[in-house]
Amino acid sequence: MFVVAEISKKDIACQDQIFNIIQRLKFYYKISCIVFYLFKVITMKYNFLISFTLVFLVQYTTCLECYVCDEQETNQGKCTSTVIVCGNSEERCLSTIRWGSTPYWEIGAPMQYYISKMCATQEQCEGMHNQTIGLCDRIEWRDWFCAECCQGDRCNYYITLGSSSIRASVMVVLTSFLLAVVFNAVTS
Q: How far apart are CA 157 and CA 171, in angstroms?
A: 17
Give the residue with greater pLDDT, 3 vs 24: 24
Domain covering 65-157 assigned CATH 2.10.60.10 in the classification: yes
Give the confidence band of 93 by pLDDT, cuts at 50, 70, 90. very high
Residue type, 131: Q
Kindly tell me the sign of the dihedral angle through the C-alpha atoms of 121, 126, 130, 136: positive
Give 136 or 116, the one with higher predicted confidence: 116
Give the pLDDT confidence of 126-155 residue by residue, as tens digits.
999 899 888 888 888 888 999 999 998 999
Domain ranges for the chain: 1-61+164-188, 65-157
pLDDT for the residue numbered 4:
45
16 vs 111, higher pLDDT: 111
More confident residue, 45 or 30: 30
Are 47 and 55 contacting, i.e. CB atoms less than 8 angstroms apart?
no
Distance CA 159, CA 185 (A): 41
What is the value of pTM for the model shown? 0.53
Query: Tens of pLDDT along 31-87?
Result: 777 767 766 766 666 666 666 665 555 555 558 899 999 999 889 999 999 999 999
Do 144 and 135 contact (CB within 8 A), yes or no? yes
Residue 119 predicted with pLDDT over 90: yes
C-alpha to C-alpha distance for 110 and 3, rounded to whole angstroms: 121
